[in-house]
A = this chain, B = another copy of it.
């Protein structure tokens, strides 16, 4: 991660080295990949001093140039480093996603088809200030047999270089090519790679909406991520008051800057007189800014007035938009018009309303009587989270290691020709599924 400008030729060589390394990783055993993760944890522990002093330099030069919360994300300490080490070790304990047989089928006697998980190949990951992301994504990539090209934020340049050295040292120690994890020198290198679907198989931007949108617009390589998280909670006519209040509070306040935090609450007209005052009484004293539609203001004159822009806002802050809707149809229409396909929830004791909501809402997560904040790989039990996708292709919602995999069809025969299975006297296929675990 130097700051020298890279030529297109350099980038091609670097990506080609990543491709070669990915081929080698693709045939490694589970033990080899877990071993490199163990070595990485050890390297991070041994290099703690170097890493923390590189980080202190980054923090020093960034102070005053970036905002407080970015500075917090940039800053490493012993606790964060220990969490990184722990994270790497826990990725090592996850089941091996590679080489798993997904389908096994006899096409005919002596002609057996299997579908086997394999790595995607080469990932390009662009992340912002948080240097822990480098270790997390390297661990996930190595676990799944992928090579990875990384570009971190320039404010974390020294921290990222120190962390990358630890990863490459672990790869060398394990006898694997250190080109499996490489840094990209500058933005020009990223821009050049985004034009090369032949060199990169998947792009993963981790950072602000602006970063993700910029990357999505700049490439036709598949991008795993979400630009927006505009999540709704519908408080149905049959919502329990205490549950509705508790769930809205959790979904808004437990971590307001998360993408799965709620931004707009839609309240059924016939329950508004009951639910709205309860919400206001709970949230206003907690410092939440409430912005309501005209019907809300009629019931609770202390609210601010919402504008049209509020229905499309991802606040990332303790601000909540409130709207009273005539019925479930109007709530569903509002979500279709303003939702980002991330996570949508309904609070209701009416099983029919819940069933309709679960059946009709088109989003990665559709919840009944639960906080939108549950939309998360760890909470879903995936062990590690690559990201959350609002795309419909390949992977949707919280994505675990399986989002970094493709598959190959292996066919083992004994001389079979298609000619014998064609035409009027064609030999029939048996197409008998076989157990996966033998």
A binding-site residues for B, Cβ under 8 Å: 23, 26-27, 105, 107, 111, 113, 118, 120-121, 201-202, 216-217, 219-220, 222, 240, 243, 246-247, 249-250, 254-255, 336, 354, 358-360, 362-371, 373-375, 379-381, 392-394, 396-398, 406-419, 421-422, 429, 431
**4 more A-B residue pairs beyond the given contacts A254-B418, A366-B408, with a C-beta to C-beta distance below 8 A:** A368-B412, A369-B414, A374-B418, A396-B408
Closest to A114 in B: B358
Closest to A383 in B: B431
Question: What is the count of identical protomers in the complex?
Answer: 2
CA A367 to CA B246, docked complex, whole Å: 57
Q: Are A408 and B365 in touch, CB under 8 angstroms?
A: yes
Selected from B360, B381, B411, B412, the residue in CB contact (under 8 A) with A23 is B360
A373 — which chain B residues lie within 8 A by C-beta?
417-418
Closest to A430 in B: B381
Q: Are A415 and B243 in touch, CB under 8 angstroms?
A: yes
CA A123 to CA B170, docked complex, whole Å: 45
CA A59 to CA B413, docked complex, whole Å: 43
Closest to A246 in B: B417
CA A240 to CA B246, docked complex, whole Å: 72
A418 — which chain B residues lie within 8 A by C-beta?
250, 254-255, 371, 373-374, 379
Distance in Å: Cβ of A265 to nearest Cβ of chain B: 15
Closest to A105 in B: B381
Selected from B118, B364, B419, the residue in CB contact (under 8 A) with A250 is B419
A336 — which chain B residues lie within 8 A by C-beta?
23
Choose among A216, A240, A250 the residue with the greatest number of B CB atoms under 10 Å from its CB: A250
CA A124 to CA B397, docked complex, whole Å: 24
A360 — which chain B residues lie within 8 A by C-beta?
23, 26-27
Closest to A341 in B: B408
Q: Are A374 and B411 in touch, CB under 8 angstroms?
A: yes
A410 — which chain B residues lie within 8 A by C-beta?
358, 365-368
